[in-house]
Chains A and B, each alone.
Chain A
Amino acid sequence: MDQEFIAEYIPLYREAAVLTVKIGFAGIAAAILLGLICEITDYFRIPVLKRVVAVYIELSRNTPLLIQLFFIYYGLPKLGIHTNAEVCGVAGLAFLGGSYMAEAFRSGVEAIDAIQEESAYSLGLSRFQTIRYVLLPQALTISAPALIANVIFLLKETSVFSAISLMDLMFTAKDLIGLYYSTTESLVLLVVFYLLILLPVSILGSVMERRLRYAGFGV
């Protein structure tokens, strides 16, 4: 292994990592928001919208991110919407992740016995208070492991961004391999940088999970 090469290209990887993290977390935040909206639509059985959500979830879960990205990247301009690759990356991740997040929220909500809700109503709590103080904290606690797994999954999915010419980690590695045939060094750096991003998220995730398990969310 060429240590000089590694030292020389660390800054390039660092730049790419920053881009990956930026787009990754922006996409994940959007995915969580989208998932929450889907679950709210589903929970309150909002007519029409509920159907739209069901179609979206199947479409999103059953097509690869790469193809979703192509549709967004090459399709949007044809509809007259011109954006840059970064926005497309965020949108693609949100489109893919939204359905996974929605399903995670749904599993949490559905895991709570209906009688918990009745117990809250019988105490004279309003529907909003029941959701806010009784259902949501329990649902989030139950969903937490799935939500955290989704975050890690989506961060890893960012590796296909290179296909829409975003200069992310994968793009950088492929580029260096193409230019210098430095396969080993480039790939080692790639793995190390992905681990640097994902390990802290993973560890933070398990800590949060443990904290959340019995968290009170205050009264």
Chain B
Amino acid sequence: MPETILEISHLRKLYDDLRVFEDLSLTVHEGEVIVIVGPSGCGKSTLLRCINALEDIQGGEIRLRGEPVSKENRNLQSIRQKIGMVFQNYELFPHMTVLDNIMLAPVKAQGRKKEEVREEALDLLKRVGLESKADSYPRQLSGGQKQRTAIVRALCMHPEILLFDEVTAALDPEMVREVLEVILDLANQGKTMLVVTHEMQFARAIADRVIFLDEGRICEEGTPDGFFDEPKTERARKFLNTFTFERKGAKN
């Protein structure tokens, strides 16, 4: 059994009166790619935000390699450095060039040498086909290029786990592919990842394990083939049906 990287146990999360998670547990092993799917409002994004302590939790525990992830932990900053997060709307820093966006945290937060970080950043940019954009500002990039930059920015921190929060939801269809290919490539390199997505074909291709979240509970969990071909629960079947279309009348 590979080593456990992330362990969520009995997570409880409330927004005022709204119950998001009552008792959610999930274990992520090293090198595993977990895809989380589910209807909107089921808590997918909130779960990722909890893992990064961007949200307060009301009960349970989240541990990264045994160390608690919480706002009370004095080491939160260094834990967050081990958790890479990619947001739906990129969240690049608009006043910095692509290269500065990538270098900021490794240099300032991790205290690494500028030259070494620059070299790595340029190398990573080259791998995602953006070597010519190093000195561009985010506003000069397309959505897909921005998202690839955001992925490189997360990667440059050498995170133990990467969280992808609907990273293609804001993109034009043609740009979706270039971003998903980068993520697929990371999966092939054995990176540990938690991916929230609405791209079902992509989910099937990349996942080691699919988790179907509904109303804050893990409704179903399984291998991608098992989940997509023979969902066990009625709820999952209904959800998957929303992605297929059928025309009742004859086509002439």
Contacts and interface: CB of A to CB of B under 8 A. Distances in A.
A44 B8 CA distance: 32
B57 to A, nearest CB: 16
* Most chain A CB neighbours (cut-off 10 Å) among B77, B89, B92, B137: B77
Given A115-B89, A124-B77, A133-B104, A216 B109 contact: no
A216 B92 CA distance: 13
A123 interface: yes
Given A116-B91, A214-B95, A215-B95, A122 B104 contact: no
A108 interface: no
A125 interface: yes
B91 A119 contact: yes
Interface stretch (B80-88, B166-174, B211-219): B80-88
Interface residues of B, number: 32
Interface in A108-129: 115-116, 118-126, 129
Contacts of A123: 80-81, 104-105, 109, 153-154, 157
B54 A125 contact: no
A125 B157 contact: no
B152 interface: no
13 contacts: A121-B80, A122-B52, A122-B54, A122-B84, A123-B109, A123-B157, A124-B109, A126-B77, A126-B109, A138-B95, A216-B97, A217-B95, A219-B104
Given A118-B91, A123-B81, A123-B154, 7 more contacts: A119-B85, A119-B87, A120-B93, A122-B54, A124-B110, A137-B95, A217-B95
Interface of A: 115-116, 118-126, 129, 133-134, 137-138, 141, 214-217, 219
Interface of B: 52, 54, 77-81, 83-85, 87, 89, 91-97, 100, 103-105, 107-110, 137, 139, 153-154, 157
